[in-house]
Structure 1
């Protein structure tokens, strides 16, 4: 019996076949295809850890089937030194595999390398450290104190130095999306803007909820003095980096990212399926589903604006 996480069982059904024609009209320029591939790469990271936990070998492992159809190869697995779990992976364009499909060069829009980061696995032995970082975000709305942040930042910086930031992507789901957002922001502060695809990024923290309450209170109070003259400068800088956020309003972990604001700062896509159960709304599988319907809600949200503004300000948190 096939494993429920096998690519041919739960993976995308209507993948276009990549061949020499992509050298003329690249499938990678289709944002739906790129979103699908990024989600599959993150699923591969989940399965790398599960393969290790369930003692599957490289020959019968589930994870490779989630990157090989797209002509990528695993270069390095990122290991959490606290529990030896796999939390991320570096995938690079596999030229040898692509040549078998008569792809002499990499199609336009295909990244040279991708850093993919998984979210929380509620299964020993990694559950303890995953939850520890979940609580870190909940308490501080920051993941910078985690060893995973430092390892991810080093990996992404090295890839950007090697291939150029325009040829690299970072992608993450849930907790992994939280890391990807903060790692991407850290590099953006240094003028290195890497394409980012963030699925169900965490938006709920004591800080964000408290900030929303305070914003409501301030809206009831009369304004004093003029506006902040530095705001337009910050907003201009924010537009230099435009991460792609994929959220579902039935997912209470990420739903606050769809709280609208007028200024630019991120591309926020909202799953348009109506009311769903949390497990479905927070799941990664929805983002490669054939019947996925999305709406591009806005160019920004109040939450992403505040988070980006904090990193482009002169004072680091």
Structure 2
């Protein structure tokens, strides 16, 4: 077996230890299973590319080990790659009559919709890298993957008779951004899905990694906020004279959605979430609530593109989140860090409004 195949084989690389001690009330177990569901999507696509079928397929144990069945794969119409999967729980203790909020529901999810990240393999790399560029310029929301994924999630909500407390969204890297955009869109319809975002990209200059001086970092963020708020106010006055609200503002609804962000300070792709939330916290503590609201709604790029008539949505900007930080000495962007036995994490909840 090759080293690559070993990483794709559940009993060699996955959280096999959980199959005997699984406790849905345990936050680390829920995190590990959400990550495994996303890993399953990666392996589904690898199975497709390597024509591994039947007993040779490596993907099924990544969900079957936790009593899920695969009910649908989501395929990108551009390159025919599998970028998402929908799983249904078929195991014991499947009580889904709770009316509590999704963040307090300790039952297994009835459905998990998972999205993989970039897969640098011959039959998927080109389209994945194109979408990575869309993340950077805040235009992923116009992609076919968002259209397909959003419809799939809506179908599951409808299938579940409108209930959403037992439906999870999960994604890694590029897949985190897909989950984030879909989660935000569902919020517009008052549907707050329990969402697990592993190493979500923060599409901006990685200030946290390239600048060590805390005073300089604070100064850069202050200057950026002042410019962003000023431009937003000016453009809003031109486009909607007399109004202090942006058209179709979903900000109040978005405040009630609190996704789980799993981040690593050593990972430049997601490390700027630390500075983003810490700076929001400082602005609010200092009384600059209105500027903080503008910064949370917009990015500098999205404001400028709106001014020239282009649609741009800064999906990474969130007013609320459960941020879970990997405290282990790990520089990886990979998923396996999130199910490592004995993983030490720091948890902080940000909910500003």
Q: What range is the shorter-chain TM-score in?
A: 0.7 to 0.9
SS at match of 2:75: strand
Matched, 1:249 2:265: yes
Task: Note the 1:22-101 alignment, pairs <5 A.
Answer: 27-94=23-90, 98=91
Equivalent in the alignment of 2:20? 17
Do the aligned partners of residues 217 and 185 (structure 1) sit closer, same or farther apart at CA in structure 2, a change above 3 Å counting? same
Q: Is the 8 A contact 1:13 1:290 kept in 2?
A: no
The structural deviation recorded for 1:215 is 3.9
The structural deviation recorded for 1:13 is 4.2
SS at match of 1:116: strand
Task: Note the 1:1-317 alignment, pairs <5 A.
Answer: 1=1, 3-4=5-6, 5-17=8-20, 27-94=23-90, 98=91, 103=92, 105-106=94-95, 109-139=107-137, 141-163=138-160, 164-205=163-204, 215-217=221-223, 237-259=253-275, 260=278, 261-262=280-281, 265-274=320-329, 276-277=330-331, 280=332, 282-299=333-350
Mean Cα displacement is larger for which, 158-167 or 182-191?
158-167
Do the aligned partners of residues 213 and 52 (structure 1) sit closer, same or farther apart at CA in structure 2, a change above 3 Å counting? farther
Do the aligned partners of residues 296 and 142 (structure 1) sit closer, same or farther apart at CA in structure 2, a change above 3 Å counting? farther
What is the CA–CA distance in structure 1 between the aligned matches of 2:73 and 2:131, rounded to whole Å? 19
Q: Is the 8 A contact 2:35 2:339 kept in 1?
A: yes
Q: Is the 8 A contact 1:169 1:196 kept in 2?
A: yes
Q: Over aligned residues, Cα RMSD in angstroms?
A: 3.2
What is the CA–CA distance in structure 2 between the aligned matches of 1:218 and 1:93, rounded to whole Å? 45
SS at match of 1:73: strand
SS at match of 2:323: strand
Equivalent in the alignment of 1:314? none
Give the alignment's TM-score, normalised by structure 2: 0.71
Do the aligned partners of residues 126 and 213 (structure 1) sit closer, same or farther apart at CA in structure 2, a change above 3 Å counting? farther
Q: Is the 8 A contact 2:187 2:253 kept in 1?
A: no
Do the aligned partners of residues 187 and 173 (structure 1) sit closer, same or farther apart at CA in structure 2, a change above 3 Å counting? same
What is the CA–CA distance in structure 1 between the aligned matches of 2:123 and 2:224, rounded to whole Å? 45
Q: Is the 8 A contact 1:138 1:206 kept in 2?
A: no
Give the alignment's TM-score, normalised by structure 1: 0.78
What is the CA–CA distance in structure 2 between the aligned matches of 1:124 and 1:219, rounded to whole Å? 41
Mean Cα displacement is larger for which, 56-65 or 46-55?
56-65
Mean Cα displacement is larger for which, 198-207 or 79-88?
198-207
What is the CA–CA distance in structure 1 between the aligned matches of 2:273 and 2:72, rounded to whole Å? 31
Q: Is the 8 A contact 1:235 1:265 kept in 2?
A: no
SS at match of 2:256: coil
What is the CA–CA distance in structure 2 between the aligned matches of 1:184 and 1:65, rounded to whole Å? 27
Question: Where do 5+ consecutive residues of structure 2 fail to align?
Answer: 97-105, 209-217, 234-242, 285-318
Question: Where do 5+ consecutive residues of structure 1 fail to align?
Answer: 19-25, 310-317
1:136-189 Cα distance to aligned partner (Å, 9 max, x none): 1112x2311110000110011111122111121110000000000011001101
Q: Is the 8 A contact 2:255 2:320 kept in 1?
A: yes
SS at match of 1:266: strand
Q: Is the 8 A contact 2:32 2:338 kept in 1?
A: yes
What is the CA–CA distance in structure 2 between the aligned matches of 1:293 and 1:104, rounded to whole Å? 28
SS at match of 1:166: coil
Q: Is the 8 A contact 2:19 2:66 kept in 1?
A: no
Q: Is the 8 A contact 2:184 2:254 kept in 1?
A: no
| Runs of 4+ with deviation above 6 angstroms | 206-209, 227-231
Equivalences, count: 277
